[in-house]
Amino acid sequence: MNAAPRTTATAGATTPISQRSDLGSAQRIVVKLGTQVVVDAEGRPALSRLYGLMETVATLRHRGAQPLLVSSGAVGLGARQLGIQPEGLSQKQACAAAGQGQLMAIYQEGFARMGLCAAQVLLTEDDFADPIRHANLKRTLETLLELGAIPVLNENDTVSTLELERPSPGHTPIFSDNDHLSALVATHLEADLLIILSDVTALHTRNPGQFPDATPLAEVPYGADLPVSFEGTSERGRGGMVSKVEAARVATQAGVPVVLASGLVVQVLERILAGEPVGTLFLATPKGVQS
């Protein structure tokens, strides 16, 4: 394996992102991959799609940018390995344990072929709630980026159940899915851009699965009242449109723009960063403006 580049990208985009043509200036980019992107229709790892995405991430890293991945898919991959359709919490945790190793093996082998090191970071709610653990997490991620590694983050579902079960009454989780986790990572690392990739092409005016007249929204200005509230989750993943919109709200209120797009589209990352009209761009609250 070639030595990973140890150059550090300049923190902050060279141009404030206020329109699609500015997206290419983003340096620190958090990319969230949903289960439907990681796993194919048969429950197997979607290797061709993943390698295409990894190649783009590697190109960004070699150019001096600082990409991070937040990846779902461990439970889905583990379910296939164990030959079950997980029904209870313990089975989901078992699937997460089986699938996480396979998931990281894919990223480590893939990025190694591209001259880069993939670094696994498994998180629990306490890593954000406890000030000392939060400081340690941020310091570790900053160091990994300085060393040229690609951090790959996921919730530690084997020991943390918040993403796998409904929150208990009276408890508001810090994050309950990887959409929200990606927003927190982007916010706390002061990223320039968050890209959420799933099987959803864009935010629509209505649920396109129920209303044929629903139209996609190319852009959502900061502070806009969103016209949609989709309930439910994806077939394999645990997030849904509500979770993605809420994640976008968290990130944009902290000054991080968000693009929601389909990871099933070929060269989707290249097209987003080239300013093409792909998915929905959620513009961030301008600095100095209170959310």
Backbone angles phi, psi at 252, to 5 degrees: -70, -35
- Residue 13: predicted pLDDT: 58
Count: domains in the chain = 1
Widest Cα–Cα separation across the chain: 52
Partnered with residue 152 across adjacent β-strands are 69, 120
Gap between the Cα atoms of 43 and 206, Å rounded: 29
Backbone angles phi, psi at 268, to 5 degrees: -65, -40
Gap between the Cα atoms of 155 and 176, Å rounded: 9
* pLDDT exceeds 90 at position 186: yes
b/e map 50-68, b = 16+ CB within 10 Å: bebbbbbbbebbbeebbbb
In the chain, the percentage of residues whose pLDDT exceeds 70 is: 83
* pLDDT exceeds 80 at position 287: no
Q: Is residue 21 part of a domain?
A: no
Domain that holds residue 181: 26-274
Residue 129: which pLDDT band, with cuts at 50, 70 and 90? confident
* pLDDT exceeds 70 at position 158: yes
Residue 165: which pLDDT band, with cuts at 50, 70 and 90? low
Q: Is residue 209 part of a domain?
A: yes
What CATH number is attached to the domain comprising 206? 3.40.1160.10
Q: What order do you get walking across the sheet with 28-33 strand by strand?
A: 118-123, 150-155, 66-71, 28-33, 193-198, 258-262, 280-282, 219-220
Q: Is residue 8 part of a domain?
A: no
* pLDDT exceeds 90 at position 286: no
Q: How far is CA 68 from CA 65, 102, 126, 142, in A?
A: 10, 19, 20, 11
Backbone angles phi, psi at 23, to 5 degrees: -60, -30
Asked if residues 150 and 5 have their Cβ atoms less than 8 Å apart, the reply is no
Question: Structure pTM?
Answer: 0.89
Structure tokens that stand for 188 in this block = 């706390």
Residue 289: which pLDDT band, with cuts at 50, 70 and 90? low
Q: Is residue 4 part of a domain?
A: no
- Residue 227: predicted pLDDT: 59
Taking all residues of the chain, what is their mean pLDDT, rounded to a whole number?
Answer: 87
Q: Who has greater pLDDT, 166 or 145?
A: 145
Q: Is residue 18 part of a domain?
A: no
* pLDDT exceeds 60 at position 167: no
Q: Is residue 15 part of a domain?
A: no
Q: Is residue 1 part of a domain?
A: no
